[in-house]
Structure 1
Amino acid sequence: MNIRITLPNGEATGEIIDSPAGRELSSVLPLTLTMGDLFEREKMGPLPEALANVADTVEAYTVGQIAYWAPSQDIVFFYADTGDLSIPEPGIVHLGTITTGLDLIAAAGDPFTMTIEKA
């Protein structure tokens, strides 16, 4: 499913994968979230409710990835490679990919408001 991501400095797009967690996220869109910056590599913000379908986790990220971090219910947008791509236990759930506007997400600030909706 294609998504539109509205930021204070513009608009980005992405794709949510067809997986249990991806479908669960898609079912609660649109969302407006307060986002922050972590480690100068990712923008993250808490979802209003935890995703239940978090069985398939990975312990590494890729730039441009949209993921879910279950311990704090955060949706995460990875925008930079800081030299260490590892993610601690319990890992992240892959949700999708940013297709355009990764530079806008990177430059959006800390904190900022982001709206995610179906495109």
Structure 2
Amino acid sequence: MNIRVTLDGQPVDATLNDHAVARDLVSLLPLSLDLEDFHQTERIAYPPRKLDTSGAPAPAAPKTGDLAYYAPWGNLALFHRDGDSASADLIVLGHVDAGDTERLANAEHITIEAAP
């Protein structure tokens, strides 16, 4: 699924995986969220409600650029470093190709919209 992602006012290429949790995220679009650092590995933000995780895909370790959802806290996570391991609580929703990890690591605001 194609989406439009903007980091700090600059558009980046992004796609969502085709599964139920990612489709639930699409139902919330457009989203405009402030990001904060979490463990110098990811930037996190909280959508207006928790996503429905029924039908979630098998766990996968997040990679740099992955947009993920951490179910226990209900937050989105944009990884600027590879994650340590796969977790059933972390659902990879898609991928953002920002061109360099510094851009991901320093992003303060994300806008996610449906692609035209």
- Deviation by residue 1:17-75 (Cα, 9 ceiling, x = unmatched): 11000111112111011211111111110111111125445262222211100111111
Q: Which has the higher strand share?
A: 1
Q: 1:57, 1:91 within 8 Å by CA — same for their partners in 2?
A: no
Alignment length, in residue pairs?
Answer: 113
Q: Residue 116 of structure 1 aligns with which residue?
A: 112
Overall identity of the aligned pairs, in %: 33
CA distance in 1, matches of 2:24, 2:100: 23
TM-score, L = length of structure 1: 0.80
1:41–1:80 CA contact under 8 A, matched in 2: yes
Structure 2: give runs of 5+ residues left out of the alignment.
none
**In 2, distance between residues paired with 1:78 and 1:85?**
11
- The answer to whether the 8 Å contact 2:4/2:14 transfers is yes
Mind listing any 5+ residue stretches in structure 1 that lack a counterpart?
A: none
Quick one: which amino acid aligns to residue 107 of structure 1? Answer: N
Specify whether residues 19 and 90 from structure 1 end up closer, same or farther in structure 2 by C-alpha distance, changes over 3 A only.
Answer: closer
What one-letter code is carried by the residue in structure 2 that aligns with 1:22? A
TM-score by length of 2: 0.81
- 1:32 paired with 2:28, answer no
For residues 76-103 of structure 1, the C-alpha deviation after alignment (integer angstroms, 9 at most, x for no partner) is 111113xx6126x653012111134453
Q: Secondary structure at the match of 1:105?
A: helix
CA distance in 2, matches of 1:47, 1:118: 15
